A and B are shown apart, each in its own frame.
Chain A
Amino acid sequence: MKQYIPTPSPHTHGSLSVARIMLTVWLALLPASLYAIYLFGWPVLNLLLLTAATALLAEAATLWLAGKDIRRGIGDGSGLLTAWLLAMTLPPWAPWWIAVVGALFAVVVGKQVFGGIGQNLFNPAMLGRVALLIAFPLEMTTWVSPQPLFSAAAPGFLDSLTITFIGVPNIDALSGATVLGQMKTDLGRGVPLEAILPGMFTLQQGAVGEMRGSLGETSALLILGGGLFLLLRRLITWHIPVAMLGSVALLSTLMHLIDPARYADAPLHLLSGGLMLGAFFIATDPVGSPSSPRGQLLFGAACGALIYIIRTWAGFPEGVAFAVLLMNAATPLIDHYLRPRIYGRDREGKPLDYSRGAFARRLERYQGRRP
């Protein structure tokens, strides 16, 4: 007789799988990615493809080394998503080796060394970005001005290969600073905000994205749309994005009220830099964020506060990656202390006592109720 193996309940399953989650997040990133290709031309496509291909190969190689199932390890699409997110934080005309080194670092050191999917303490894409930023500060802060596809200044497809693989000799002529970068430099020299911002930043620019920045930093609206799509598909919950954007908005409004000449207002902070991308796509990465709703609120709020502090008082003009990595490190602690309340128990874990205090009153009130 065939050995019968009892199968445990439940005997049915929801339709969600890890691969589907990754695919949906990638879809949510697609509009912003396409816009970036439009805004900065074909070099952006080169970067996206190069990062993805490197990540794929690196992942396959590490899985092979570790003796794991390569097809399953790659099949969930998490490595590709990491690569895509990393590419979204790169300057649009970054050279090919930036993409390659970043993807290698993110996938190999950020993810596989920790044991693969689900095991990494830090967000691999952000780890890759920070490694690049510290190792290659010049290449990582060379922001080319928008050259929309099919406009006169836009590079052709062949030019784009030159840009990515050989480099542009006169890139300084084509590039400038981001809003946050300009603010950091000029405020340091004592220039007030009202002298910096004109010609540099309007709300419309920030929202639509026609300005300098990484691929995922320019169009706040498209990123926001992708984020709302994720919320709608219930792939993320509102807690982290709302807490993160809320704390940045709160802090910037507060400081702006204190000194409008030195501290930019909330709309500028919300619409510039990588904040939107961070709030919806990076900080919500489940692996490194807390699992309880209260933990997520704390995580998001702390990320937002760190971002504002780094942008305003630290050495770097932008701090999304640093903030998320710092909070990734705090996640195990948050998860340990902020657990959800268990049914029938109080927050301390003791069984509810309906014979005393507020609970007794509640029971009494209930007993008095008539149908």
Chain B
Amino acid sequence: MRLFRFKGGAHPDEHKVTTELPISRMPMPARLYLPLQQHIGAPAVPVVKVGERVLKGQLLAKASGPVSAPVHASTSGVVTAIDEFTAPHPSGLPVRSIVLEADGKEEWGDNIVPIDPFKLSPEEIAKRVGEAGIVGMGGAAFPAAVKLNLGSRQRIHTLIINGGECEPYLTCDDRLMQERPGPIIDGVLLMLKALNCERAFIAVENNKPAAQSALREACAAYPGIEVVGVPTRYPMGSEKQMIQTLTGLEVPAGGLGADIGVIVHNVATAYAVQEALRHGRPLISRIVTVSGGAIRTPANLEVPLGTLAEELVKFCGGLSETPQRQLLGGPMMGTSLPHLEVPIVKGSNGVLALSAAEMRLQPAPQPCIRCGRCVQACPVGLLPLEMAARARNGKVEEALDYGLMDCIACGTCSYVCPASIPLTQYFNFAKGELARKRSEAQKADRTRELARARQARLEREAEEKREAAARRKAEREAKKRAEQAAAEQEAAS
């Protein structure tokens, strides 16, 4: 199959030391913390009360609005609190979560499993995927059902299953592909049905030959599915770059893959779809890679959602040294955490504890020497050095003119910069600044509108008063005239 090349990119050290380690099951912790917002979109709304006993897989919070996802119980137990707890977010700020005390019985609720999910209509498949709380599991956590529904609106000619896993250290998708290729293919077939699409490519970077051959074997009977080896180059796993690599087409700026008939889903999402439709299991666990130089025994773990990252590290033998940085996700795009007392959520693919040496921590940023390595590395074709210079001076509008909103925040420019300038951070700042300015402008517009309306109302009222006064005056005068006339008439008669 002919592949196309995306611009730029980099080859960060892979550190995929866990690629040969089979997935092991993380024991059920005593307490689970399930944030109501583990996805892009509106937070879920709790449907259980504190003190209520729930069964494994039971709905705890329902989706609210078209872009949202429900939350289910990862095990049977009692809801002990619905309150604010630290979010898996760099700010370490709290987010509303359901706290579930596990009873250790692992008692499943009723789950309705269709005899043959392939007999379901595309809409019904998408609906069940939505009800199972499935979101994009590559990290973005966009509700999967929304993307599966696009098939009814647009013609989708290609489904791409993203097994790129281009982030260093992470091997959760790799292991899933190696160990459970059959269920993944089953999930892909269901997704194809939902999308009314006939062709699927499973793209796997060439540094994962075992995963490639396992999937090839599993999909041999299905001519519509092809496993494609793609070059190992960061950010291959980025949706836009993957579409370009496989099809040579580019997602139009501001648009979606569906605009050109392509939908991308992660391999773990395909697996979750199969779990939901074949076995009636909602998304209540996921595979997480625990790795990094400061982890004693790195591993791939199947983890109940809501387990604290701290417990994963403990299960892996704890820390062998004080880590320089603790991350949720990969080192290129993951978020650094203030501490590990944050829960694993649907989009968490890795817990990393990195030592200073492997991070190659740089001294403070140096002046830009305009070497243009960021330009060569940018997979989008931007001029990061120019954008950063403007963002740094607060000229966000100018940065916008250089394509700020086209930046996918992959971090490749920061990675290659010899002056170790935190370019990506400048862009994040500028994007935030821009959003703030826009909302302020909107607010100002709204205020102006209100003020104008008030002015108009006051004028109208004054006008009305004037008119009323005039009317009264006229009436008075008419009355007076009438009285006068009557008096005159009286006098005359």
Which residues of B (241-280) have their CB < 8 Å from a CB of A? 244, 247-255, 259-261
A residues near B376, Cβ cutoff 8 Å: 237
Contact A6 B91 (CB under 8 A): yes
B373 within 8 A of A: yes
Contact of A9 among B333, B418, B419 (CB under 8 A): B333
B403 within 8 A of A: yes
Which residues of B (172-210) have their CB < 8 Å from a CB of A? 199, 201
- Closest chain A CB from B88 CB (angstroms): 13
Contact B240 A344 (CB under 8 A): yes
B residues near A18, Cβ cutoff 8 Å: 366, 369, 418-419
Q: Considering the chains assembled together, what is the distance between the CA atoms of A345 and B382 in angstroms?
A: 11
A10 within 8 A of B: yes
A residues near B417, Cβ cutoff 8 Å: 14
Interface size class for chain A? Answer: 35 or more
B residues near A4, Cβ cutoff 8 Å: 92, 338
Contact string, A36-52, partner B, CB cutoff 8 A, digits 1/0? 00000000000000000
In the complex, the chain B residue whose C-beta lies closest to that of A236 is B371
B41 within 8 A of A: no
B residues near A151, Cβ cutoff 8 Å: none
A363 within 8 A of B: yes
In the complex, the chain A residue whose C-beta lies closest to that of B416 is A14
A353 within 8 A of B: yes
Secondary structure dominating the interface of B? loop
Tally of A-B residue pairs with Cβ under 8 A? 184
A159 within 8 A of B: no
A137 within 8 A of B: no
Contact B383 A292 (CB under 8 A): yes
Contact of A344 among B253, B333, B367, B428 (CB under 8 A): B253
Contact of B201 among A116, A335, A371 (CB under 8 A): A371
Q: Considering the chains assembled together, what is the distance between the CA atoms of A362 and B13 in angstroms?
A: 36
B residues near A362, Cβ cutoff 8 Å: 248-249
| Residue of A12, A341, A367 with most chain B CB atoms under a 10 A cut-off | A12
A17 within 8 A of B: yes
Contact string, A4-16, partner B, CB cutoff 8 A, digits 1/0? 1011111111111
Tell whether A11 pairs with B331 under 8 Å between CB atoms, given A335-B386, A351-B252, A371-B201.
yes
A residues near B333, Cβ cutoff 8 Å: 9-10
B residues near A344, Cβ cutoff 8 Å: 240, 250-255, 406
Chain B residues within 8 Å of chain A by Cβ, number: 81
B151 within 8 A of A: no
A97 within 8 A of B: no
Tell whether A11 pairs with B334 under 8 Å between CB atoms, given A352-B250, A363-B261.
yes
Q: Considering the chains assembled together, what is the distance between the CA atoms of A344 and B238 in angstroms?
A: 14
A residues near B338, Cβ cutoff 8 Å: 4, 6
B320 within 8 A of A: no
Contact string, A278-304, partner B, CB cutoff 8 A, digits 1/0? 000000001101011000000000000
Contact A342 B371 (CB under 8 A): no
- Closest chain B CB from A335 CB (angstroms): 7
Contact B332 A17 (CB under 8 A): no
Tell whether A72 pairs with B424 under 8 Å between CB atoms, given A13-B415, A371-B224.
no
**B residues bordering A, Cβ < 8 Å?**
1, 6-7, 10, 12-13, 90-92, 157, 168, 199, 201, 223-226, 240, 244, 247-255, 259-261, 325, 327, 331-336, 338, 352, 354, 358-362, 366-373, 375-376, 378-383, 385-386, 402-403, 406, 409, 411, 414-420, 422, 424-425, 428
Question: Can you identify 11 A-B contacts, CB atoms within 8 angstroms?
Answer: A6-B336, A8-B425, A11-B359, A14-B360, A14-B418, A18-B366, A291-B386, A340-B378, A343-B253, A344-B253, A345-B252
What are the 4 tightest A-B residue pairs by CB atom distance, in nearest-first order? A10-B411, A291-B372, A351-B253, A8-B425
Given contacts A344-B252, A353-B252, 20 further A-B contacts (CB under 8 A): A4-B338, A6-B91, A10-B424, A11-B354, A14-B12, A14-B416, A17-B362, A18-B418, A18-B419, A117-B366, A339-B383, A342-B406, A343-B6, A344-B406, A350-B253, A351-B252, A354-B252, A354-B260, A363-B261, A371-B199
**A residues bordering B, Cβ < 8 Å?**
4, 6-18, 20-21, 72, 76, 78, 116-119, 237, 286-287, 289, 291-292, 335, 339-345, 349-354, 362-363, 366-367, 370-371
